[in-house]
Structure 1
Amino acid sequence: MKYMNILKKHSAKIGVAVSTVAASGMAHAVDVSEALGNAVSSGQSNYSIVVVGLIGLAAIGFGLRAIIGAMR
């Protein structure tokens, strides 16, 4: 009975604390999803840059080989 009286007395404070913690958790969840979205788009752009670089390097290599082969 003693605990019920204490709970009734402090129920407003407990409710505010619980709602504050829940709201801050939701705010962090939005930040995390935005950060993940930014990381995915950054990774995709880096991947495309690497692919273009490798294709360019291969083209230069084949071109130089063709030039050296024609000089012989």
Structure 2
Amino acid sequence: MLKSLKTKLAIVGTSVLASASAFATDHTAAIGTAVTEGTANYTAVVLGLLGLAAVGFGVGFVISKLKN
């Protein structure tokens, strides 16, 4: 009885693992796209901050020259 139960559990376990791997899909393209989009967003933020710093410096420079 116990040997039969172990055999049945082994068969069920094997079939569950086989079906799980059948549902696995390849997400490398989606991950690559996400990395590319993340890099583009990061670049946009860095350029935006540099632009903001340049504008702030420029406005400060103009104001300081107008005071003189």
Corresponding position of 2:61? 55
Per-residue deviation at 1:35? 0.4
* Pairs aligned (count): 58
Gap regions ≥5 residues in structure 1: 63-72
CA RMSD of aligned residues (A): 1.8
Once residues 50 and 40 of structure 1 are traced to their aligned partners in structure 2, the CA distance between those partners, rounded to angstroms, is 15
Matched-pair identity in %:
9
- Once residues 56 and 9 of structure 1 are traced to their aligned partners in structure 2, the CA distance between those partners, rounded to angstroms, is 69
Q: TM-score, structure 1 length as denominator?
A: 0.64
Report what 1:40 is aligned to.
46
**Structure with greater proportional helix content:** 1
